[in-house]
Amino acid sequence: MCDHTKNIYKPQLATIEAMIDETPDVRTLRLVFQDEAVRESFSFRAGQFAEYSAFGAGESTFCIASSPTRKGYIECCFRATGRVTEALRRLEVGETIGVRGPYGNSFPIESFFGKNLVFVAGGIALPPLRTVIWNCLDWRDKFGDITIVYGARTEADLVYKHELKEWQERGDVRLVKTVDPGGNSPGWDGKVGFVPTILEEAAPAAENTIGLVCGPPIMIKFTLPVLEKLGFKDDSIYTTLENRMKCGLGKCGRCNVGNVYVCKDGPVFTAAQVKGMPQEF
Amino acid sequence: MQQNHTQLADDSYFAAVTNAIRTETTKLLSEGTVAAVIGYQAGTRAGTVIPTIITDAAKAGDLVFSPGCVNNLALYLTKAKKEVRPAGKVAIIAKGCDMRALAGLLGESQLKREELHIIGVACVGVKGAGAGSGEALTTGTIARKCRECTVRAPEGADVVVGAVPPLPEFSPVEAEELARLEAMTPAERWAFWKGHFSRCIRCMACRQVCPFCYCEQCLCDRNRPQALETTPRPAGNMAWHIVRAMHLAGRCAGCTECERACPMDIPLNLLNRKMARELKTLYDFEAGLVPVEKGPLTEYREEDDQSFIK
Amino acid sequence: MTKTITEQKLRSLMDLLLKEGRRVVAPRQAGSIVLYEPIDSGEQLVLGIMPRRSAKETFFPLCETILTYGKDGNGVMVSDVDAGAFPETILVGAPPCDAAAPAVLDAVFSWDYNDEFFLERRKKTIIIGLACTAADDACFCTAVGLSPRDDKGSDLFLTPVAGGGYLCDAVTKKGKVFLDTYASFLAGGEAKPLPSAEPAATPLDLAGIKDWLESNFESPLWQEFADRCAGCGACAFLCPVCHCFDIVDEGTETKGARRKSWDACGFGKFTNHASGHNPRDIQNKRYRNRIMHKFKYYQDKFGQTLCTGCGRCVRSCPVGIDIRAVLEEIQAKP
C-alpha cells in the first residue's frame, strides 16, 4: 500500500442507464456509478460540473444537469460538436463512461429561500438551470413565485420538451417558452420572439427576486439590460460561464478569465462579478 | 579558435544597407506608396534584431540590417499572421533566401505581386546557430545555409539595396551533411531521424515560423479523426515531421527558419533539403525560383517518373 | 562547519547513488545540446552549463501516462499509475533559477487538489543546486529577486571554489540528512568561493508591474509587444515554471492511455471552444495571458511570481521577443 494521495485525474466509472435525444444533436445521458460506495456517497450541488470521458477519445466538460435532490444517478446533456462529444454519442445504453467531479462552485440556493425566482435560458444552456429548477421545485415551499423564460431558435431546438410540458402543467410555475421568429411550426403554443424581448414582455417583478440566466453570450448580452430595466440588481442575478477546460482542477491553465479560474472560482458568478471581469470568455 | 576566421564584411556594408532601407522606407511611407514596411529593428541584446512592422515614416530610423537579421519576414505576409498584416500594399525587406519564399507564396496565390513592394537586400550572409549575439559575421559564425548561397543578389525585387563585397570560397557544410545522409543505409537513416525526432517537444516553433505553414487547420490540430498523436512521444513526433516534410516538398524554399527556431537543435532543414533533392532528381523542379501555379506534387504529367509505384 | 567536495568525489558520489538504486538527474550532453536527463554514471554529469530545457521535467514530464484503460465484453477497466513507485531521485547541478522553480509550482499543484504526479516526485527528490559562475546576456535572475548564488529551493547547494571543487551547504533538513549520510565524500576546511556571475540586470519593480497589469488588460501595448509573436510554445516549454498542460487519450476505444502533456497558452487552439468561439482568438491576447499569468494572476492566487529569470524564453524566441524589455516598458509606464 502506498501512502500517496489519490490520482485526481482518475474518473469513476458509470453506466449509461438511459438516454434521451432532446434535439437531433443534443442528448441526455442518465448515468449510474458502477461502484456501490460511490453511488451512495456521490453528492453535488446545483451548478457544479464534471469531466465526462469517452475512453479513447478523451474528456469533455458539462454541468451536472440533474438535481442534487434526485439520488442514485446523475444526468448530463451535451451537443455532439467535437471528438469527445461525438464519441459519447456513439455509446449505447449499458456502456461505460468515466466521470470526474463534481467540480467548481454552485448556486447558493439556500440564500434564495423566501424569494421569487426568475430563470432565463436559451437553447442548449437550459441544463445548468434545469438542475436548479428541479432542486427548487423539490423544495417548492421554500420559494415564492417561480418564473421560467426559455427559448430556442426553433421548436426542435428546445431541450427537455417533456419537462417543459410538466412545468407548464404545474400550477406553481409560470413557464414562458418562446422560439425565435420563424422558428415556430403550426400549432406552437408558446411565444415567438427572442428571449430578451419575451422576458421584457413577461415582466417578472424584481422585488425580492433572484434572476438566473444561462444562454449563448449574445443572449446574455441582451438579457442583462432587460433585467436591469425590470429593476434587478447585479448581485441578485446569477449566471454561469463556460470556458474550455481540461483538468477542471485549477491547474491546466486554460479556463481563466483574467485571474478567475472558471473551474474553481466558477462556473457560477453573479452579474456583478462578471461585469468586473475582463472580456475573455 | 576565432583567430582563424576572417570577418566577412566591414561595418560600412551593413551601414550602407541600413541607410538604403531607411531611405527607401521614408520615401515609400511618406509618398503613400505602401501602407507599411516589414523589416528588422534592433533587439535588446547586442547584435540581435526583432521583426517589426512600420507604418510611420518617422520611424524609418528604427530599421536596421545586420548579421543578426535571420528571420524570414515573409511569415508576416501569410494567412497565419492575417491579424497583424496591414491592409493595402506592403513593403518587405527580403534577402535572396526570403525571396524564394515570396515566390512560392505568390505561386500559391497567397500574395498578390501588385500588393507587394520588395526591398531586396544584396546579402553577405547572416549569423548561424551557436554564434554569440555580440559576435561579428565571420567565416566561422556565418550561417551554414549562407555558405552555399546562390541568391546573394536577389532577383525580382522592386529595389535592391547594398552591394556584396568579394567573399571567400566556403566549404559546403550543408552539401556534405546531405551527402552523409544519402550515404546511409535506409536502416541507418531511420535510426538517424528517430534519434533526432525523439528529442522533439512539439513546441511547434518549426511550424509557426514557416512561411508555408499557413494552413488554417493544421493536420496535427485535427482530431476528427485524429491524424497523429499530439503528445511528444516517438510515434507522433515521427509522424509529425514526416507529414510536414511531405507537405513542404516542392514548396519549401530552404530559408532554414524551422531549423533555426527549433529549440532542440533538430536538423529539420536537412530533411527539407533531402526532399528538395528528390524533387530535383525526379521532376527537375526547384522551389521558389519563380512563382509557379502548380508544383510537381500538385500536377500530373505523362512523363512523370512512376518508378516508385511497385 | 563548511564542507567541501572535489569534482571527482562529486562524480563518485553520483556513482554510489546510482549503485544504491537512486535515479540521478543531471545536466547531460544529449546530441548537440545539454538536457536534464537521468545519468548512468557520474562521468556524464555536465557542470556549469545551463541545460536547454529547465529542470521542471524532473517533476512534471513532457508527457506522462495518468491512467490506462481497456474495454472488453465485461466493460471498461481503468488502471491507475502507482505514483508511490516513482523512484527516489537526486537532481544535481541545477542553477538557482531551475532549483527555485519546483517550489514555486508546489502552489498550483497542491491548490485544493493534490496532483500526486508532481507532488510525489517532489517528495522523493533531493535538489542539489549549483551557484553560477557564468551568465550570458539573456540571464536575469537578479531582476526577479533571485541571484546566481541563491539557494532557494535547493536541499543542498554547491558553490564552485577557486582551484576546483565545491563548497557544499545543507539548506534543508533533507539536505542535512543527505550530507550526513554521505559525509565520507566531503572534506572540511576553508575554500575561497569563485565569484558568482551577476547578470547585467537591474531588479524589476514587480509590484509596480503588477499594478500596471491590474488596470491595463486592454492596452495598445499588447499589440506592440506581441504582434510579432509567432505563436509557438518554445518559451513556455523551456520555461522552468510554465505549467499549462493538456490531457488526451491515445489509443483505441478498447485499449489505450490517458496522458498529460505540456501545453502552452500561446498556441492558437489552447482556449478554442468546441463551438469555434475562442476567447483568446488573436496572438497578442495569448501573449497578454502569458505575462498576466506570470506577473499578476499567479501573484493574486499564490503570492509568487511565475518567473525565475533563467532567460530561456529570451534565448529561444524565434522572433526575438525579450520578456525583460516588455517588463521594463511596463515598468516605465505611469
- State the DSSP string of C80-122: E--GGGPPPEEEEEE-HHHHSHHHHHHHHHTSSS--HHHHHHH
* A vs B: CB pairs below 8 A: 6
pLDDT band at C131 (very low <50, low <70, confident <90, very high): very high
More confident: B180 or C2: B180
Give residue A2's pLDDT.
Answer: 38
* Predicted pLDDT of residue B297: 80
Cell numbers found for residue B22? 531607411
The verdict on a CB contact (< 8 Å) between B50 and C246 is no
pLDDT 10s digits, A67-79? 999 999 999 999 9
Any C CB within 8 A of A242 CB: yes
A56 to chain C nearest CA, in Å? 4
**pLDDT, average across residues A64-69:** 97
C199-221: average pLDDT = 95
Contact list in B for residue A83 (CB cut-off 8 A) is 223-224, 226
CA–CA distance, C244 with C299 (Å, rounded to integer): 16
Of A146, C215, A274, C237, the residue nearest B262 (C-alpha): C237
- Give the closest of A2, A10, A96 to C84, CB-based: A2
Residue C119: pLDDT over 60 = yes
Shortest CA distance to C298 belongs to which of C25, C107, C61?
C107
Confidence of residue C75 (pLDDT cuts 50, 70, 90): confident
Residue of C49, C66, C228 to mutate, testing the B interface (most B Cβ within 10 Å of its Cβ) = C228
Choose the closest CB to C69 out of A55, A87, A255.
Answer: A55
Mean predicted lDDT score pLDDT of chain A: 94
At residue C290, what are phi and psi to the nearest 5 degrees?
Answer: -60, -50
To 10 degrees, what angle do helices C283-292 and C323-332 make? Answer: 80
DSSP letters, C203-235, are: PP-HHHHHHHHHH-SS-HHHHHHHTT----SHH
- Residue of C232, C280, C290, C312 to mutate, testing the B interface (most B Cβ within 10 Å of its Cβ): C232
Grid cell listed for B229: 498523436
Query: Measured between CA atoms, how close is A75 to chain C, in angstroms?
Result: 20
Tell me the average pLDDT across C193-219. Answer: 94
Secondary structure (3-state) at C324: helix
Residue reference for cell 519564399: B101
Position B33, amino acid: T
Task: Tell if the CB–CB gap between C322 and B44 is shorter than 8 Å.
Answer: yes
Residue C45 has pLDDT above 50, yes or no: yes
Task: Please give the residue of chain C at the shortest CA–CA distance from A85.
Answer: C274
- What would the mean pLDDT of A196-213 be, rounded to a whole number? 96
At A3 the pLDDT is 40
The rounded distance, in Å, linking the Cα atoms of A33 and C110 is 27
| Residue A3 contacts C, CB cutoff 8 Å | yes
The answer to whether A83 contacts chain B (CB < 8 Å) is yes
pLDDT at B294: 78
Residue C228 at interface with chain B, using a CB cutoff of 8 Å: yes
Confidence of residue C220 (pLDDT cuts 50, 70, 90): very high
Residues of chain C with Cβ-Cβ distance to A92 below 8 Å are: none
pLDDT of residue C181 exceeding 80, the answer is yes
Classify residue C147 by its DSSP letter: -
Q: Which residues of chain C make contact with A88, given a CB cutoff of 8 A?
A: none
Q: Which residue has the cell 453506466?
A: A15
Q: Name residues whose C-beta falls within 8 Å of residue C263's C-beta, 6 or more positions apart in sequence.
A: A246, A252, A253, A254, C233, C236, C244, C245, C246, C270
Residue A246 touches partner B, C-beta closer than 8 Å:
no
> Among partner residues C67, C75, C274, which is closest to A82 by beta-carbon distance?
C274
Mean pLDDT of C3-22: 96
Span C144-176, pLDDT tens digits = 999 999 999 999 999 999 989 999 999 999 999
Task: Match domain A12-103 to its CATH number in 2.40.50.140, 3.40.50.1000, 3.40.50.720, 2.40.30.10.
Answer: 2.40.30.10
What's the pLDDT band for A92 if we cut at 50, 70, 90? Answer: very high
pLDDT band at C1, cuts 50/70/90?
A: low
Mean pLDDT of A235-245: 94
Residue B67 has pLDDT above 90, yes or no: yes
- Residue A90 at interface with chain B, using a CB cutoff of 8 Å: no
For B222, name the nearest residue in chain A, comparing CA atoms only: A83
Of all residues in chain A, the one with the smallest CA distance to B226 is A83
Residues from chain B that touch C286, judged by Cβ atoms under 8 A, are: none
CATH architecture group of domain A109-240: 3-Layer(aba) Sandwich (3.40)
Predicted structure pTM score: 0.94
The C-alpha cell that represents B163 in the structure block:
552591394
In this prediction the ipTM stands at: 0.94
Residue C39, SS3 per DSSP: coil
d(CA C28, CA B191): 21
Q: In the predicted model, what is the mean pLDDT of residues C308-330?
A: 96
What are C241's three cell numbers?
Answer: 515554471
Q: C278 to chain A nearest CA, in Å?
A: 8
Strands A12-21 and A174-179, sheet pairing: unpaired
Under an 8 A CB cutoff, do A259 and C69 touch?
Answer: no
All partners of chain C with 3 or more CB pairs under 8 angstroms? A, B
Question: Cβ–Cβ of B203/C283 closer than 8 Å?
Answer: no
Residue C175's SS3 state is: helix
Q: Do B201 and C262 touch (CB under 8 A)?
A: yes
Nearest-CB residue to C116 (from A4, A34, A242): A4
For residue A37, pLDDT over 90 is answered with: yes
What is the mean predicted confidence (pLDDT) over C310-334? 95
Predicted confidence (pLDDT) at residue A232 exceeds the cutoff of 60: yes
Please indicate if any CB of chain B lies within 8 Å of the CB of C276: no
Collapsing DSSP to helix, strand or coil, C48 comes out as: coil
CB contact under 8 A, A82 and B224: yes
Contact list, B50 vs chain C (CB under 8 Å): 228, 319-322
CA dist A88 and A79 (Å) reads 10
Q: Does any CB of chain B come closer than 8 Å to the CB of residue C236?
A: yes
CB contact under 8 A, C320 and B52: no
Strand duo A116-122 + A260-261: pairing: unpaired
Q: Are residues B104 and B72 in contact, defined by beta-carbon separation less than 8 angstroms?
A: no
CB–CB of C273 and A13 under 8 A?
A: no
How far is C226 from B56, CA to CA, in rounded Å?
A: 19
pLDDT, position A75: 97
What pLDDT, on a 0 to 100 scale, did the predictor assign at position B4?
74
**Any idea where the domains of chain C sit in the sequence?**
3-60+84-185, 206-244+264-332
* Numbered ranges of CATH 2.40.30.10 in chain A: 12-103
For residue C186, give the amino acid letter: L
* Alpha-carbon distances of B98 from A43, B155, C64, C225, rounded to whole Å: 61, 11, 39, 24
Determine, for residues B230 and C53 on separate chains, whether the beta-carbon distance falls below 8 Å. Answer: no
B223·A82 Cβ contact <8 A: yes
Q: Report how far residue C35's alpha carbon sits from residue C23's, in angstroms, rounded to the nearest whole number.
A: 15
pLDDT, chain C, mean: 95
pLDDT at B2: 44
When pLDDT is cut at 50, 70 and 90, the band that residue B224 belongs to is confident
> Which residue in C250, C283, C316 is closest to B229 by CB distance?
C250
A-contacting chains (≥3 CB pairs under 8 Å):
B, C
* CA C23 to chain centroid: 18
* Residue B309: Cβ within 10 Å count: 5
Search chain B and give the residue with CA nearest A80.
B224
pLDDT tens-digit readout, B269-293: 999 999 999 998 988 888 887 777 7
Residue B116: the pLDDT is 96
The answer, for B223 touching chain A at a CB cutoff of 8 Å, is yes
Three-state SS for chain B is CHHHCCECCCHHHHHHHHHHHHHHHHHHHHCCCCCEEEEEEECCCCCCEEEEEECCHHHHHHECCCCCCCCCHHHHHCHHHCCCCCCCCEEEEEEHHHHHHHHHHHHCCCCCHHHEEEEEECCCCCECCCCCCCCCCECCCECHHHHCCCCCCCCCCCEEECCCCCCCCCCCHHHHHHHHHHHCCHHHHHHHHHHHHCCCCCCCHHHHHCCCCCCCCCHHHCECCECCCCCCCHHHHHHHHHHHHHHHCCCCCCCCHHHHHCCCCCCHHHHHHHHHHHHHHHHCCCCCCCCCCCCHHHCCCCCCCCCCCC
Element (H, E) at A192: strand A191-192
Q: Choose the mutation target among B37, B41, B44, B240 for the interface with C, i.e. most C CBs under 10 Å.
A: B44
Of the residues A254, A255, A274, the best mutation for testing chain C's interface (the one with the most C CB atoms within 10 Å of its CB) is A254
Q: Could B223 and A86 be called an inter-chain contact, meaning their C-beta atoms sit closer than 8 Å?
A: no
For chain B, give the percent of residues with pLDDT over 70.
Answer: 99
Measured between CA atoms, the residue of chain A closest to residue C245 is A252
Interchain pair C233, B233: CB under 8 A: no
B236: pLDDT strictly greater than 70: yes
Q: In Å, how far is C68's CA from the nearest CA of chain A?
A: 9
pLDDT band at A1 (very low <50, low <70, confident <90, very high): very low
Residue B117 has which C-alpha cell?
Answer: 513592394
